[in-house]
Structure 1
Amino acid sequence: MKAARFYGKEDLRIEEVPEPSPGPGQVKLRNAFAGICGSDLHFFFYPESLPFSLDEPHPLSGATLPQILGHEFSGTALPLPPWRQHTTHIRSPASTAPTQPTKAP
């Protein structure tokens, strides 16, 4: 799949990346629409203003550069593979947060 990956100040590249698979308590979404949030734009132009260093792993997620940005999107939950259907419950409504994934009970 293609993703916009942030490498540093004003360096965003569209690249081919492996398609993710959901972990325990997660679902996979087929994105329908995506947008750019003001925080993404600020991050792109002024990464030095962030409250953490881009030279070290993110304090919550452990992510390092290059990083896939984006949290303003909508989509449809895809069916789980048969071997996973008994482990995850899809509830509505749902939301996403880049550092706080929505998890099923």
Structure 2
Amino acid sequence: MTRRWPLHPTPGHGEALTSWLHRLATRYGMDLDQLVRHDLTPPGAPAPGSTGSLDLDAPSELITILAARTGGSSPVVWCHSGCSLWWVEGQAVR
């Protein structure tokens, strides 16, 4: 079971996924790479090759874990078009 983070500011309207993740990482004294590799990547799964690519092609597993950690609804709806992550009616939407 994925545990919810006690601190999880919502993303700003139109904020890029990496920007939001950077703000979350800062809250917990981590950098973006540490947050993604150690807290948002499933055990045994390869971490994304580059955190810079997350805005365009975030793994669905990462989005699902992020929704659970921040209290978002599942299943998470997201698009593959490279749009920013937005928070809409309690769901993370890409």
Shorter-chain-normalised TM-score: which range?
Answer: under 0.3
Structure with higher strand content: 1
Q: Greater helix share, 1 or 2? A: 2
TM-score, length of structure 2 as denominator length: 0.27
What TM-score comes out, normalization by structure 1 length?
0.25
